[in-house]
Amino acid sequence: MKNPYDRLSRAISYALHPLIVPTIAALLLLFGPTVMSNLPAEARWFIAAVVLLNTLILPAFSLAVLKLFGGLSDLRLQSQRQRMLPMGIVAVCYMLCILSFRQMTVAFLVDRFLIAALCCVVIAFVVNLYWKISLHMTAAGGLLGMMIVMNYTGLAQFRTALIVLTVLTGALGSARLQLGSHSLAQVGAGAAAGVAVTAATVLLI
């Protein structure tokens, strides 16, 4: 019988998968208590759809094709070496999404987060050349950093969501440790990098 803690850990890891986090962020920014909530619903759903296509569907399809043709042995990207090409693909997809928003000034908060997310991917790529940092925690930390900055600048009021996400980020870190995917240092470094890079990027651009 499978360990119930492992099953719960996998469920948490899938729910907060790095490819899903940008869509979660976009939905929070577009439909949460932010300055973007005044946009017409049609515009907000369109922006969310663009994010979904470029940061989840397109990268997931690309990874599936890589797996099909032998470019990847495991979609969970457990191997440090096999992470490089997928991260490069994700970075390109993020850039495409950012470029698609260049003429849409109404999507400025989503655009800021995506630029921050791209910075996180680039930094994780460089770190991964030498060390296996947790991509799950980098993504979750990025989302957490975005919420902290939005609250700090008054662009959003994510009080309840911030508490919930803090708890979920902690649960995700525990899940990655439970599954043996990372060491405590890799989990902590991922979370810290995500928070710091996203907060700094959103504040500076």
Compute the CA torsion angle 115, 121, 123, 125 (nearest 10 deg). -150
Q: Indicate the number of domains in the chain.
A: 1
State yes or no: pLDDT of 78 exceeds 80: no
pLDDT of 150 over the 50 cut: yes
Look at residue 77 and tell me whether its pLDDT is greater than 80. Answer: no
Question: Could you give the percent of the chain with pLDDT greater than 90?
Answer: 65
Cα distance between residue 109 and residue 204, in whole Å: 13
Kind plus residue range of the DSSP H or E element containing 163 = helix 159-178
Q: Token pair 């928003």 is at which residue?
A: 101
Q: Which domain holds residue 74?
A: 4-204
Maximum pairwise Cα distance, the chain: 54
- CA-derived radius of gyration, the chain: 17
- pLDDT mean over 46-60: 95
**Distinct helix (H) and strand (E) counts, the chain:** 9, 0
Q: How far apart are the C-alpha atoms of 156 and 149, rounded to whole Å?
A: 9
Q: For the segment 22-47, what is each residue's pLDDT rounded down to a tens digit?
A: 999 999 999 999 989 889 999 999 99
Cα–Cα dist 112/108, whole Å: 6
Give, rounded to a whole angstrom, the gap between the first and last alpha carbons of the chain: 51
